[in-house]
Amino acid sequence: MQLKEYWGKKVFLESKNGKIFRGKVSDYVYPEDNENGKESIIIDAVGYEFPYEFYENDIKKIEIIN
């Protein structure tokens, strides 16, 4: 999964635990910058006070929305 392509975009994301998030991807974290060696994105999700970080293996589905 190429999470970098979602950076700066509005997305719909379904996590593997079934939670739904909509919002803007505010940051992309390179694998070498994460302790676990996996890439991740940070989403400013609508309805949530704090941003959420998602690793590629936490994401069931992600789509760019308008």
Domains of the chain listed by start with CATH number:
3-64 (2.30.30.100)
pLDDT of residue 1: 76
pLDDT of residue 66: 84
CA distance 50 to 32: 24
CB 34 within 8 A of CB 40: yes
pLDDT of residue 16: 98
53 C-beta neighbours (distance < 10 Å), count: 13
CA distance 58 to 1: 11
List the chain pLDDT tens, one digit each, 66 residues. Answer: 799 999 999 999 999 999 999 999 999 999 999 999 999 999 999 999 999 999 999 999 999 998
CA angle 58, 39, 48 (to 5 degrees): 55
Residue where the block lists tokens 């989403």: 43
